[in-house]
Amino acid sequence: MPEKHQDLTSLCLDFANAVGERPERFRHYGDLLAWAAEAGVLNPLDRLHLQTVAERQPEQAAWVLARALALREAVYTVFSAVAAGRPAPAEGLERLNDVLAEALCHQRLEPAEGGYTWGWEGLGDALDSPLWPVARSAAELLTSDRLPRVRECDSPTCNWLFLDYSKNHSRRWCSMSSCGNRAKARRHYQRLRGEGVSDADGR
């Protein structure tokens, strides 16, 4: 069954951040399984089982892959709108709700240390089961007090979404070590170039 992501509310953003990657990350159904395993929502045995099922049902696997791409685009458009302070597009919410409705049918309460937690049932041969935690994650984030923390990277060459946990809620880049440093380097270059132009004009 799908395993637990370390932070359920950020799982959907991790999924959406594959939008726009070149080459396309999800070219085959197996790529979706690989992502789910890396994200911690699919254990090795279930990944192997679903891969075997996909090989027996290639048309169904292709349909699920197309559905995954549509969900990924929907999640991105919804949270990109949230980050920009715009209403979420109706089409994106509709696609998200379609997958969410199916996902909720497979949720159940399970005993956990100190209480109870949400689990999943009915995985079986369901090739679209890796999408269930993504839809649940998006719903959790949209209805949580973390929603105002959703940001989209300020870099013109990046569209990654992230949760801003900075003290003054002013984080601008998905990663300071990548996009942040590149932005600083660009500004530094532009300042130097501007100073060079000024010097040339003054001679």
Q: What is the pLDDT of residues 42-88, one digit of tens each?
A: 999 999 999 999 999 999 999 999 999 999 999 999 999 999 999 99
Give the side-chain half-sphere CA count within 13 A for 129: 25
The answer to whether the beta carbons of residues 112 and 49 sit under 8 Å apart is no
State percent of the chain over pLDDT 70: 83
Look at residue 120 in the predicted model and tell me its pLDDT.
Answer: 86
State percent of the chain over pLDDT 90: 65
Q: Which residues have CB under 8 Å from 55's CB, separation 6+? A: 61
pLDDT at 185 over 80: no
- Confidence grade of residue 144 (pLDDT, cut at 50, 70, 90): very high
Structure tokens at 13: 């953003």
Q: How far apart are CA 80 and CA 72, in angstroms?
A: 12
Look at residue 55 in the predicted model and tell me its pLDDT.
Answer: 98
Look at residue 141 in the predicted model and tell me its pLDDT.
Answer: 96
Q: Which residues have CB under 8 Å from 201's CB, separation 6+? A: none
Look at residue 194 in the predicted model and tell me its pLDDT.
Answer: 59
Look at residue 103 in the predicted model and tell me its pLDDT.
Answer: 94
